[in-house]
Structure 1
């Protein structure tokens, strides 16, 4: 049995073997910024994801494995179904006509608020305007309903440009936290070779 580790707020804190840690930044938007007219880039379509769990999981893995996304791959099919089948959760695949290249997930389950659950692109598609399209769609869809707050969180395991992208999109940081969890590679939830920038220790 491992003893709890006390966090050192003025120095280093050792992590037990098998754990990973990240700094999480929470951001919010209280009103929608001015957006250009809604247009879909040529060849792309936004498709609603509901009953096709395999499609959702494949897209989630394709986007998230380089950054150790694991929250949706460690839950059961029943738990995932309860999320995706909820009428207050909207999940979309961005498709280029041959494959899914992006994910957008909005969560309206808290009254008066909406969370940007996930927004991401598969490797090789970043920098072509698809991310900006997804974000603008997220903002439009969030504020098309009577909400007072649109919020999201990102972490230091995510793409290095993610935090700046959210800020440029109109989100304002309001809180930070340290998250410690089991390394999903050691749990078998993601491949051992995923996210090589974060060494596997344990």
Structure 2
């Protein structure tokens, strides 16, 4: 369905985001790591509680809700699937960033989840994490690496991806039940997205 020009109503209890898909089809020039004491740790067969905790701490403010709504079997089927890699950004011995890569489609890598906890935003940790993400992705036999971001994410996310070498190629509208109304996310999460009941 093509949305008409002008305003389209979003029903009460729903949220709507503009989603931008970005891709790169060649390995970008390497960017220097910013100064900082960060490390990347691969989580082989990540525990569900560990994954949910890190996913929540990184993404709750940006309304990352799809994984939070999954039961154990659904979540395990994804994050334990062959071709899925989960990595943690480690700071001072604590996991403070999430990188999830999907290599299941031949020749492609999707950055499914990418982010750092709130205290690390603006410190260079995300640049370090992106440098590792691109090293891992392009070390495989891929022709394309892609990611998507939306208007619920940090306001600098799209620009960050473009500085990293991604090029926008598609835009969509995503409409979903507001996760703050069914308890999936706390009511005070994502104050930049008003609740309309």
Q: Structures share a fold, TM > 0.5? A: yes
Q: TM-score range by the shorter chain?
A: over 0.9
| 1:46 corresponds to which of 33, 40, 47 | 40
Instruction: Report whether the alignment pairs 1:67 with 2:93.
Output: no
1:177 alignment partner in structure 2:
172
2:124 alignment partner in structure 1:
129
1:90 alignment partner in structure 2:
85
Name the SS of the counterpart of 1:191 in structure 2. coil
Cα displacement (A) at 1:192: 0.9
Distance in 1 between residues matched to 2:124 and 2:82, nearest whole Å: 29
Q: CA RMSD in A?
A: 1.7
Name the SS of the counterpart of 2:92 in structure 1. coil
Name the SS of the counterpart of 2:142 in structure 1. coil
Distance in 2 between residues matched to 1:80 and 1:152, nearest whole Å: 20
TM-score by length of 2: 0.93
Residue by residue over 1:30-69, the C-alpha shift from the partner in whole angstroms, topping out at 9 and shown as x without a partner, is 01111147x7965322122223111111111111111111
Distance in 1 between residues matched to 2:2 and 2:168, nearest whole Å: 23
Taking a change above 3 Å as real, the CA distance of residues 198 and 144 of structure 1, as seen in their structure-2 partners, is same
Taking a change above 3 Å as real, the CA distance of residues 40 and 53 of structure 1, as seen in their structure-2 partners, is farther
TM-score by length of 1: 0.91
Instruction: Report whether the alignment pairs 1:187 with 2:178.
Output: no
- List structure 1 runs of 4+ shifted beyond 6 angstroms: none
| 1:99 corresponds to which of 94, 100, 125 | 94
Distance in 2 between residues matched to 1:188 and 1:23, nearest whole Å: 23
Matched pairs, number? 196
